[in-house]
Amino acid sequence: MNTTIKPKHQRLVLLVVAVIAMIGATLLAIVALRDQASYFYLPSEIGAAETGRDIRLGGMVEHGSIVTQEDGITIHFIVGDGEARQPVSFTGIAPALFVEGSGVVAEGSMAADGTFMASNLLAKHDENYMPRELAELDTDEVRAQIEATLQ
């Protein structure tokens, strides 16, 4: 009886083992990077951040929270993630997509009074694409609308 393995199958087994080892190593690295590779902190994660250190804060701009200050160029608003709410102050020109109910990434640092002092704002677009006729809807309603038309 012939018990030798075909070279073709030997190579296949060897390669499968190598690929599994590689994926395993990468998964370990990714799990270890989980916190470090994020681009920003959520409001619920930022509480422990030391004051004065440069960090990024990301989340949704709460409805009705944008208040323009007396100097005309400073705005105060609240960033939320469904768990925590973080007051933010920003002086300068906000990007066009910076609107209430939309995502934002603010670069800056925590002040002693618990306000996040932003030096730069980046608008974070969500995954929904929809024409202007439905502009007044919020994210969940947009999603429901698209799914209804695609059915």
Partner 1 sequence: MHGFANPARFLRLAKWLTPVLLVTGLVMAIAALVYSYTSMPPDRLMGDSVKILPLHVAVSWLGMGGWTMIAIASLVELVWRHPLAAIAARAAAVPGAVFAFCCLATGSIWGRPTWGTWWVWDGRLTSMLVLLFLYLGYIALTSALAREGGSSRIAAIFGLVGAINIPIINRSVVWWNSLHQPPSLTMGNSAIDPVYLYPLAVSTLGFSLLFGAIVLMRMRAILADMQAEARLRRKAQAAAGSMAEGTA
Is there binding between residue 73 and partner 1 (CB under 8 A)? no
Could you tell me which stretch among 19-27, 47-55, 64-72, 108-116 binds partner 1 (CB under 8 A)?
A: 19-27
Query: How far is Cα 116 from Cα 52, in angstroms, rounded to an integer?
Result: 10
Exactly one of 1, 3, 71, 125 binds partner 1 (CB under 8 A); which one? 125
Q: Is 29 exposed, middle or buried (0-12, 13-18, 19+ CB in 10 A)?
A: exposed
Could you tell me which stretch among 63-71, 72-80, 108-116, 120-128 binds partner 1 (CB under 8 A)?
A: 120-128
Exactly one of 38, 68, 69, 119 binds partner 1 (CB under 8 A); which one? 38
What secondary structure does DSSP assign to 6-68, as a single string? PHHHHHHHHHHHHHHHHHHHHHHHHHHHTTTT-SSB-TTT-TTPPTT--EEEEEEEPTT--EE
Name the residue with tokens 């400073």: 74
Query: Which chain residues interact with partner 1 by CB under 8 A?
Result: 8, 11-12, 15, 18-19, 22-23, 26, 30, 33-34, 37-42, 58, 95-99, 102-103, 105, 121-132, 134-135, 137, 142-143, 146-147, 149-150
